[in-house]
Every structure is written in structure tokens, then in C-alpha cells.
């Protein structure tokens, strides 16, 4: 539905058919989720040229316009991108050279976003109005949604003002008018546990990339929730430098996808720029091993391995066999099933002397 509407809107503005597209997904999406997005694009009548991580799209939007990047033979410029949106929090470190950009590592918190901060306010006012006006707000979905919208507006106002701000809703429930107040100081106290979750992914990317804070050239923030002053302060304090807001917080990901689509299209001439992505979780292959009379496995792509990428594995077999791909760190996945897919290798026969044939599999 969403992709169909986007297609319809684009065609209405451009006055021509829209078929090819580049779609971004959160960097923590698994293969099953990515395939579902690809299926959705086909259902909407779109041809997805590439599926990009959101952090990668942001990096492309940043790097393609930079005129002062180091040459290819020089030491790359390391930039951290922090993206906190409505429902998730993603951090990546990217290395930039002129015409070549590389995502080094990513880290994320799949449930930390602006929605969580809204929920803190909603729970507070549900409790306050319950005591003050004897209203059970959570029993009425419509009232809860209305309160959620007002709390989101209040949160945005508190980003600009530290004084007491009112929240008033007329004829809220049972024709009762409700009102309350909130200020930034009290709000931040209520959000202490959420703000404590900002630093771990920042620490994680530096550790994974074997970088020190001094190695970071700049810290770019995008996403609506990064407008919260306390979030900005946490990020700035961690890196010990001023954070940069040169990218459009709401459009950076979209711009990156549009640029990638233009690069892949023969209809546009775009500055030469190549960017590599990373694998968010380690991927292993499992197969039956005649020599060991059981199954064997091998980690094919480690975490943060460059993508897209392919490897060739060599097997010695006398008959068809099956390869099973799975995520080798199920504890890091958003859901418990680590399986990715099964692949059957057919038309394998022994050699004329009865020995095993050499089979090469590209993965």
C-alpha cells in the first residue's frame, strides 16, 4: 500500500511512468525481512535496483558532494553517522576517499527511537489524568491516540523551550476537558533509562572498527529524534566534539537512495562514486560431510563483512548435496529463527574412476 502510493505520487509529479527504484531498510534487517521488502516492491509494480541500508544511504548523500575528500591512495576520512528515527537507533562508521566510500561497521538499538520518548509522556499523563479526572485513558484507543499526538507535539516544543509548557485537550473523554504541564528538566529525569541507551552503540562502533575518538573526523546526526537536546548532548559529550548537522535530518536517507538510483541509471550523469555496505550479522553454511559422517559448517561472511561480495567454496562429492545458510549468532537477531535458506546442488556425479568430483559453489 505504501509503495503503491509512493509510485502514484511520483508519477503524478513527474508526469511519466515510474518503474525503477532504490529502497532503503534499517541496517539490522535480516534476509527474510529484506526479501519481504523486495516482494512488496514487485507487488507495487516497481523494479528494485538495489536494497540499501539506511546508514549507507546517508553516507552516500554525505560523501558524493564533498570536494575535499582524501585521494584514493591517502588515509581515508572517518565519519560517524548517528540516525535516531521514530522507532530505531542506528550508528555507523564510514571511511571516505574521493569517489570511494566504505561503511566500516554498524551498531544499533532496534527499539530506541522517538516513539519511546513519546510513550514516557503518554504514560505520565495517563496516570496524572487518571488520578485528577478519574479517566481510564488506556481503555479507549481513540483517546490514547489523541493523547499520543498531543504528547509528540509537546516533546517537540520542549526541544525548543526549557520552561513549563501546557498540555490541554478539550472534550477529551466523556466531554471532560483535561490539562497538565511538563518541562524539559522533569521530562529528562523520566527518560534517564532511555538516554542511558544512547552511548552503548557509539562505544560499540569504535570498538568494532578499532578506532579511537581522535580518529573520527566528524559526527553527523540525522533522524527526527536527534533533535532532542539531551540526545545531541549525549552524542557530543561521548565524542568530545561538536556534532555536525549539515545533512537534512528528514531527507538524508531518501536523498542517498535517489543518488544511488541515478548512479545505476543510464539516463543520468552523476559524479562517479562507489559505496560498499556491510553484513549486519555473521552468516554460516552447513552441509553433510561424508568424510566426517555428519554435518560440517563454516562461517562464510563475518559480521561487518563487505557487501555485496561473493566467495567460491570447493567441495568434493559423488552425488547431489544440500547447503544450509543460517545466521551464526542467533542471540543478536530480532527473532529466534536463524535459518536463511537451503540450496540444493544438483547434477553431481562421480568421475569415471569412481572418485569424487570437484564442485565449486559461488555464494
Cα distance between the two ends of the chain: 33
Q: What is the DSSP string of 182-212?
A: E-HHHHHHHTHHHHTTSHHHHHHHHHHHT--
Task: State the Cα angle at 113 between 108 and 119, rounded to 5°.
Answer: 145
What are the φ/ψ torsions at residue 361 (nearest 5 degrees)? -120, 125
Q: Round the CA-based radius of gyration of the chain to a whole number and report it.
A: 25
- Each residue's pLDDT expressed in tens, for the chain with a length of 363 residues: 789 999 999 999 989 999 999 999 999 999 999 999 999 999 999 999 999 999 999 999 999 888 888 988 999 999 999 999 999 999 999 999 988 899 999 999 999 999 999 999 999 999 999 999 999 999 999 999 999 999 999 999 998 888 999 999 998 888 889 999 999 999 999 999 999 999 999 999 999 999 999 999 999 999 989 999 999 999 999 999 999 988 988 899 999 999 999 998 888 888 778 888 899 999 999 988 766 566 788 899 999 988 888 899 888 888 888 999 999 988 888 877 899 999 898 888 888 888 888 888 888
DSSP reduced 3-state for 221: strand
**Best CA proximity match to 44, nearest among 8, 85, 69, 98:** 8
Q: Looking at domain 1-112+191-278, does it have CATH number 3.30.420.40?
A: yes
Cell of 247: 545533512
Integer Cα distance of 100 and 276 in angstroms: 8
In angstroms, rounded to a whole number, what is the distance separating the alpha carbons of residues 243 and 95?
17
Cell numbers describing residue 152: 509528540
According to DSSP, the β-strands at 274-278 and 306-307 are antiparallel
Helices 31-43 and 2-14, interaxial angle, to 10°?
50
Digit-coded pLDDT (tens) for 105-126 = 999 999 999 999 999 999 999 9
Please name which of 320, 311, 312 lies closest in space to residue 287, comparing C-alpha atoms.
Answer: 320
C-alpha cell at 197: 541507551
pTM: 0.90
Nearest to 358 by CA among 344, 345, 339, 343: 345
Extract the C-alpha cell encoding 45.
Answer: 509494480
What are 129's three cell numbers?
A: 489524568
Domain ranges in the chain are 1-112+191-278, 114-190, 281-362
Q: Report whether 325 contacts 343 (CB < 8 A).
A: yes
User: CATH says 281-362 is which class?
Assistant: mainly beta
Q: Domain spanning 114-190 has what CATH number?
A: 3.90.640.10
pLDDT in tens, 66-100: 888 898 899 999 999 999 999 999 999 999 998 88
Amino acid at each position: 500500500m505504501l509503495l503503491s502510493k509512493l509510485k502514484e505520487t511520483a508519477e503524478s509529479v513527474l508526469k511519466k511512468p515510474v518503474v525503477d527504484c532504490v529502497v532503503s531498510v534499517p541496517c539490522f534487517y535480516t534476509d527474510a525481512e529484506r526479501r519481504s521488502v523486495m516482494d512488496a516492491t514487485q507487488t507495487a509494480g516497481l523494479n528494485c535496483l538495489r536494497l540499501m541500508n539506511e546508514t549507507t544511504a546517508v553516507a552516500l548523500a554525505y560523501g558524493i558532494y564533498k570536494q575535499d575528500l582524501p585521494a584514493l591512495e591517502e588515509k581515508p576520512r572517518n565519519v560517524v553517522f548517528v540516525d535516531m528515527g521514530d522507532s530505531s537507533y542506528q550508528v555507523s562508521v564510514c571511511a571516505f576517499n574521493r569517489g570511494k566510500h566504505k561503511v566500516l561497521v554498524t551498531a544499533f538499538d532496534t527499539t530506541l527511537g522517538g516513539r519511546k520518548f513519546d510513550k514516557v509522556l503518554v504514560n505520565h499523563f495517563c496516570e496524572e489524568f487518571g488520578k485528577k479526572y478519574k479517566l481510564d485513558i488506556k481503555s479507549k484507543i481513540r483517546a490514547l491516540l489523541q493523547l499520543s499526538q498531543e504528547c509528540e507535539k509537546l516533546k517537540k516544543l520542549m526541544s525548543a523551550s526549557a520552561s513549563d509548557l501546557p498540555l490541554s485537550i478539550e472534550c477529551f473523554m466523556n466531554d471532560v476537558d483535561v490539562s497538565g504541564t511538563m518541562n524539559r528538566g522533569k521530562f529528562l529525569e523520566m527518560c534517564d533509562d532511555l538516554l542511558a541507551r544512547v552511548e552503548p552503540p557509539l562505544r560499540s562502533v569504535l570498538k568494532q572498527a578499532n578506532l579511537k575518538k581522535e580518529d573520527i573526523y566528524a559526527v553527523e546526526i540525522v533522524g527526527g529524534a536527534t533533535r532532542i537536546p539531551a540526545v545531541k548532548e549525549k552524542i557530543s559529550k561521548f565524542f568530545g566534539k561538536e556534532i555536525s548537522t549539515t545533512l537534512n535530518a528528514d531527507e538524508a536517507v531518501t536523498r542517498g537512495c535517489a543518488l544511488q538510483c541515478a548512479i545505476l541509471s543510464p539516463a543520468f550523469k552523476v559524479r562517479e562514486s562507489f559505496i560498499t555496505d556491510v553484513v549486519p550479522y555473521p552468516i554460516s553454511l552447513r552441509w553433510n560431510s561424508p568424510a566426517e559422517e555428519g554435518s560440517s559448517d563454516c562461517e562464510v561472511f563475518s559480521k561487518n563483512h563487505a557487501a555485496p561480495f561473493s566467495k567460491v567454496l570447493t567441495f568434493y562429492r559423488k552425488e547431489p548435496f544440500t547447503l544450509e545458510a543460517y545466521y551464526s549468532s542467533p542471540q543478536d537477531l530480532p527473532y529466534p529463527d536463524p535459518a536463511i535458506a537451503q540450496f540444493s546442488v544438483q547434477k553431481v556425479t562421480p568421475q569415471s574412476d569412481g572418485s569424487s568430483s570437484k564442485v565449486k559453489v559461488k555464494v
